[in-house]
Chains A and B, each alone.
Chain A
C-alpha cells in the first residue's frame, strides 16, 4: 500500500531534550516536506527536499533540522525543543514530474514540549 508513515504518532518531552521524528514513504517520490499545524494558523511548511541531499527552508524553519540521505526517508530533528514547538506535525511527499503530483500526507505526529 502506498503510504507515508511517521513515528512516533504522539510524543511528550521536556525542553532541551533532542528528538527526531521519522518520516518514510514507499512511493519513490522525489519531493518530501514537513509541516506544522497550529490552531488558527493552517499548515505551515518547515522544510522541504526536492531530492536526496537537497533540502531547503520553508516558512518556519527556526529550531528545526532535516536530512535527506535516502530517497524514502526525511527525518525532522529538534536539537533543543522548546514549548513553542508544541504542535501537530505532518510529513508529505509527491512526485516532481507529471501534471498531477498531489501530495500524500502522513498521519501526523502530535508533539508536546513541557
Chain B
C-alpha cells in the first residue's frame, strides 16, 4: 500500500470550511483513498473513500486530483465537534497484503 503525507496540524474557525490535504504520490491505479478521524482517544471512525472521482456524503467531501497523487478532505461547515485527528490512507479495498498504514494524521482544531 502507498504511503501518505499529511500536515501534522491545522486549525479552522467554526462555521468555515476545513480543507485537509493529503499527498499520496506513489498511489497505484487500483488503490483507493480512505479518510478516518479519531476524536480524542476513541476508536477511529470512517469518513469517506474514493478511487478517482470526487465523492460526497453526509459527513464530508473528498476531492482527488486528476493524477491521483493528492487529495483533499473538505468539512464544509466545521463545528467544534470536528476537532479530531484525521487520517488519510491508501489501500486496495480487498485482498492482497492488506496492511493499512495510518501514520500520524492531521490534528484539526476548530476554534470558536
- A residues apposed to B, CB below 8 Å: 4, 31, 35, 37, 40-45, 48, 50, 58-59, 88, 90, 92, 95-108, 110
Task: For B49, list chain A residues within 8 Å (CB).
Answer: 100, 102
Q: Are B95's CB and A102's CB within 8 A?
A: no
Task: For B101, list chain A residues within 8 Å (CB).
Answer: 45, 59
Q: Are B44's CB and A90's CB within 8 A?
A: yes
- B residues apposed to A, CB below 8 Å: 32, 34, 36, 41-46, 49, 51, 87, 93-95, 98-105
Which one of A45, A58, A101 has the highest number of Cβ atoms from chain B below 10 Å of its Cβ?
A: A101
Q: Are A92's CB and B105's CB within 8 A?
A: no
Task: For A58, list chain B residues within 8 Å (CB).
Answer: 99
A50–B92 Cα distance when bound, in Å, is 14
A97–B95 Cα distance when bound, in Å, is 8
Task: For B36, list chain A residues within 8 Å (CB).
Answer: 102-103
Closest B residue to A88 using CB positions = B41
Closest A residue to B102 using CB positions = A43
Q: Are B34's CB and A98's CB within 8 A?
A: no
A4–B46 Cα distance when bound, in Å, is 14
Task: For B41, list chain A residues within 8 Å (CB).
Answer: 37, 88, 108, 110
Closest A residue to B48 using CB positions = A102
Cross-chain contact of B44 among A31, A45, A97, A105 (Cβ < 8 A):
A105
